[in-house]
Amino acid sequence: MNPLHIIFSQNRHFNIFFMLMMIAVATLPFTHTLSVPITILMLINWIWEWNWKEKLLNVKDHQATSVFALSTAVFCLTLLGLLISSNKIHALASIETYIWFLAAPLFLLTYPSTLLTHERTRLLLVLFTISTILLSMILFGDAAVYLLRHRDQEFSIYSYISSFYHPSYLSLYISFAIFLLLFDWKHRNRHFNTALKIIYGVIIVCLYTAVISLSSKAGLLLLIVLCFCWIFYLANGWKKRLLGILAFLSVNLLFGALAYQFKANPLMRLTSAWDDIQHYEVNNSHAYTSSGVRLTVWRSAWEISKENHLLGTGTGDLGADLMKKAEERDYRNLIGHHYNTHSQWLQALASWGLVGLLVVLAYCLYPLIYGIRKRDMLYLTFSLLIIGNLMVESMFERKMGAVFIAMMYILLFLRIPKEEIHFNLE
């Protein structure tokens, strides 16, 4: 198919929407400042197109009623939390962060499958993968240049890149790009020549090494566990699976040996985190580490949630409540710091109560259940990546997490074949 035919259709409004969507996906790994302007332009185009009845039927035709309801429900939580919030400015900022939980289903699911085809959906995912690879090349290339120039014996890729980009979110993006490449390899293998297979293999190994170098504890553990699962998915027969497992273990043992030899950050951070968890007590030396701060802020958030178990503290109030609780309980490692809960599950429980926690749980579990039912490994992997990362990061509270999750949640759903059910306009 002609690439221009993939991008452009005979529908003028869809062409405008799809061009904006391509910009949104391509710039997603680099910046999130464009998310609001793009949303506004999409909304103007969406309203200008009109035909509300057809838009509603398109949601049904995609068999996406549940996905639409769950995604918009997450956004509605912020609106409901605004009503009981005592900090309206922070609450409005949160609504801006959460806007794509409404925008993604509203725009993507209301266009017919004849326009938002499998090829166009795949193009958007390819754009994200390319952008993530480019971002990784820029960040790690810059780190390599710095190391060559300064010969710093104490140099740490984790510390260096942290000054530009949050390692947990970058690990999430790169891990997701790895599985997109693996999925593409699995389903388009017959069209691959030897050169393309080598290119894919080299890129995947480089991205895997990048995640290890970033030393994000949750990101690294999730990637290793999911790669182990993907061996069973990619390999046919137990002999190939056994060889794949042995090769994968050998590669990781090699990485582990090199990390130990050079006292690399990934191994040190994992062992340090385990030591901090075992010896943690409030305000002791272990409380001031990355893991220690998390344990303290989780304790504080849990105490707040018990006091506001039904409706929570409201949208935008939790940051101030955590600081107040830290002073009350003399949590010295939290005093003076504007932390979020570093766990979306606790963030939802403390901000919106039990209702909010149930909505977020349902939102995250749906792709897991749907992926299992449809036997779609990519949607299943996405769900596990999100569930795992939300345990240690409040990813809905940052645009780099909220926009990515909301957007990919819908795009991955759309690329799964549905049953042939069509709704007439008459």
Structure tokens of 268?
Answer: 């040190």
How far is residue 46's CA from residue 51's CA, in Å, rounded to a whole number? 9
Q: In the prediction, which pLDDT does 256 show?
A: 64
How far is residue 106's CA from residue 382's CA, in Å, rounded to a whole number? 21
Q: Per the domain annotation, does 367 fall within a domain?
A: no
Q: Per the domain annotation, does 209 fall within a domain?
A: yes
The per-residue pLDDT string of the chain (426 residues; one tens digit each, 9 = 90 and over) reads: 555 667 777 789 999 999 999 999 999 999 888 999 999 999 999 999 988 889 999 998 888 999 999 999 999 999 998 888 888 888 888 889 999 999 999 999 999 988 998 999 999 999 999 999 999 999 999 988 988 888 777 777 878 888 889 889 999 999 999 999 999 988 887 778 888 888 998 999 889 888 888 888 888 889 988 988 888 888 777 777 788 778 777 777 776 666 555 455 666 677 777 777 777 776 666 567 778 888 888 988 899 998 887 888 888 878 888 888 888 888 887 777 778 889 999 999 999 999 999 999 999 999 999 999 999 999 999 999 999 999 999 999 999 999 999 999 999 999 998 765 443 433
How far is residue 287's CA from residue 281's CA, in Å, rounded to a whole number? 7
Q: In the prediction, which pLDDT does 259 show?
A: 57
- With CA atoms as reference, report the closest residue to 244 among 253, 255, 233: 233
Taking the C-alpha atoms of 177, 183, 187 and 189 in order, what is their torsion angle to the nearest 10 degrees? Answer: 70
Taking the C-alpha atoms of 267, 270, 273 and 278 in order, what is their torsion angle to the nearest 10 degrees? Answer: -100
Taking the C-alpha atoms of 54, 60, 62 and 68 in order, what is their torsion angle to the nearest 10 degrees? Answer: 100
Q: In the prediction, which pLDDT does 24 show?
A: 96
Q: In the prediction, which pLDDT does 74 show?
A: 96
Q: Per the domain annotation, does 225 fall within a domain?
A: yes
Q: In the prediction, which pLDDT does 424 show?
A: 42
Q: In the prediction, which pLDDT does 398 show?
A: 92
Are 22 and 41 in contact by the 8 Å Cβ rule? The answer is no
Q: Per the domain annotation, does 232 fall within a domain?
A: yes
**How many structural domains compose the chain?**
1
Q: Per the domain annotation, does 194 fall within a domain?
A: yes
Using CB atoms within 10 Å of the CB of residue 150, give its burial: 0 to 12 exposed, 13 to 18 middle, 19+ buried: exposed
Q: Per the domain annotation, does 46 fall within a domain?
A: no
Burial code (b: 16+ CB inside 10 Å, e: under 16) for 310-338 equals ebbbbbbbbbebbbebbeebebebbeeee
Write down the pTM of the prediction: 0.92
Q: Per the domain annotation, does 268 fall within a domain?
A: no
How far is residue 226's CA from residue 234's CA, in Å, rounded to a whole number? 12
| Domain of residue 207, residue span | 118-263
Q: Per the domain annotation, does 129 fall within a domain?
A: yes
Burial code (b: 16+ CB inside 10 Å, e: under 16) for 250-281 equals eeeeebeeebeeeebbbbebbebbeebeeebe
How far is residue 263's CA from residue 425's CA, in Å, rounded to a whole number? 65
